[in-house]
């Protein structure tokens, strides 16, 4: 353990800066990153400067988000979709350029994928559920034996159109609606990002509506045949919540200023 860990956890006297290894250890523990068999290399993906004073957050890791993070003076980029997805890649082409950009800027890159969908406080699904005032929430949305989403009840039923409008207000983007279920939305399941495969599970759980991010063609007929409404609010748009909430949590914990780098994909 780094010698600063104890000093910081017992008396957070140096607000506004934190030793990178302490920060990474705190994140790994807070997000419980070892709990998920997620091949996307959750944790510190690129080591940069050993002292972190400023954080940037983004949904994706791209040349643009890395460059913007470096230009903003961030010492660490916190991201939902990192650079590694379970297979070795040569450090060439755009992948190499991304890594080179981070290293040249001495920028740390920390990625939190499934653990940040599933997290009970700052997770994408928890944040959306809170924004929609979902009640009596239960774990929902199986991912490799782990429930990473949430199901619950809206405080009062809304028509499917009113619900889609409510979600649109939340994300700022128009939703794609497949009205396979009853006309009102009351019992809702939420799986951020790519969660269309939860339609069958939603039907089994007696939910009338599934809110997820990205549509997948192979699940089109499921909504109508299982009798579940599906509201697709965008992969990107349903996953801005987690990194922002996590960056805000770091500000609370360590006093680090942060900035969200908004690079919507429209998907
Ligand atoms: Zn995602």
Residue 213: name the closest of 247, 171, 181 by CA.
171
Query: Based on the domain organization, do 229 and 132 belong to the same domain?
Result: yes
β-sheet with 108-111: strand ranges across: 43-46, 108-111, 76-81, 55-60, 258-260
Domain contains 89: yes
What's the gap in Å between 56 CA and the centre of ligand 1? 18
Q: What pLDDT, in 10s, does the model give residues 186-204?
A: 999 999 999 999 999 999 9
**Which residues span the domain enclosing 24?**
3-117+240-260
Query: Based on the domain organization, do 251 and 209 belong to the same domain?
Result: no
Residues of the chain with pLDDT under 70: 1-13
What's the gap in Å between 266 CA and the centre of ligand 1? 13
Query: Based on the domain organization, do 80 and 129 belong to the same domain?
Result: no
d(CA 249, CA 105) in angstroms, rounded, equals 25
Domain contains 42: yes
What's the gap in Å between 194 CA and the centre of ligand 1? 6
Tally the domains of the chain. 2
Domain contains 266: no
pLDDT at residue 8, as a whole number: 45
Query: Based on the domain organization, do 244 and 113 belong to the same domain?
Result: yes
pLDDT at residue 64, as a whole number: 98
pLDDT at residue 14, as a whole number: 77
pLDDT at residue 216, as a whole number: 95
Answer yes or no: is 117 a known binding residue.
yes
- Half-sphere exposure for 135 (CA within 13 Å, toward CB): 6
Domain contains 265: no
Query: Based on the domain organization, do 226 and 249 belong to the same domain?
Result: no
Query: Based on the domain organization, do 103 and 122 belong to the same domain?
Result: no
What's the gap in Å between 76 CA and the centre of ligand 1? 20
Q: What is the CATH number of the domain that holds 146?
A: 3.40.1390.30
Write out the two tokens for 22. 């302490």
pTM score, whole prediction:
0.93
Domain contains 226: yes
Domain contains 267: no
What's the gap in Å between 240 CA and the centre of ligand 1? 10
Supply the DSSP symbol for 175: P
d(CA 178, CA 217) in angstroms, rounded, equals 12
Query: Based on the domain organization, do 143 and 222 belong to the same domain?
Result: yes
Answer yes or no: is 263 a known binding residue.
no
Query: Based on the domain organization, do 112 and 138 belong to the same domain?
Result: no
Q: What pLDDT, in 10s, does the model give residues 227-242?
A: 999 999 999 999 999 9
Query: Based on the domain organization, do 244 and 225 belong to the same domain?
Result: no
Domain contains 97: yes
What's the gap in Å between 114 CA and the centre of ligand 1? 8
Answer yes or no: is 80 a known binding residue.
yes
């Amino acid at each position: 353990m780094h010698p600063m860990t104890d000093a910081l956890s017992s008396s957070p006297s140096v607000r506004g800066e934190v030793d990178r290894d302490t920060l990474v250890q705190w994140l790994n523990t807070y997000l419980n990153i070892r709990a998920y068999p997620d091949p996307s290399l959750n944790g510190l993906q690129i080591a940069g400067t050993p002292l972190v004073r400023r954080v940037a957050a983004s949904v994706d890791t791209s040349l643009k988000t890395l460059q913007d993070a470096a230009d903003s003076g961030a010492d660490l980029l916190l991201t939902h979709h990192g650079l590694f997805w379970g297979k070795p890649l040569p450090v060439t082409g755009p992948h190499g350029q991304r890594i080179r950009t981070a290293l040249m800027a001495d920028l740390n890159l920390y990625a939190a994928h499934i653990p940040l969908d599933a997290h009970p406080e700052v997770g994408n699904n928890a944040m959306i559920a809170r924004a929609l005032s979902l009640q009596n929430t239960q774990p929902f949305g199986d991912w490799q034996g782990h429930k990473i989403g949430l199901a619950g009840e809206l405080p009062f039923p809304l028509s499917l159109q009113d619900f889609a409008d409510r979600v649109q207000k939340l994300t700022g983007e128009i939703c794609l609606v497949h009205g396979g279920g009853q006309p009102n939305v009351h019992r809702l399941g939420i799986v951020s990002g790519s969660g269309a495969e939860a339609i069958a599970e939603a039907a089994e759980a007696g939910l009338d509506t599934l809110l997820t991010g990205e549509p997948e063609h192979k699940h089109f007929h499921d909504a109508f045949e299982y009798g579940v409404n599906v509201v697709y609010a965008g992969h990107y748009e349903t996953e801005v919540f987690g990194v922002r909430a996590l960056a805000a949590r770091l500000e609370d914990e360590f006093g680090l200023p942060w900035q969200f780098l908004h690079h919507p994909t429209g998907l």
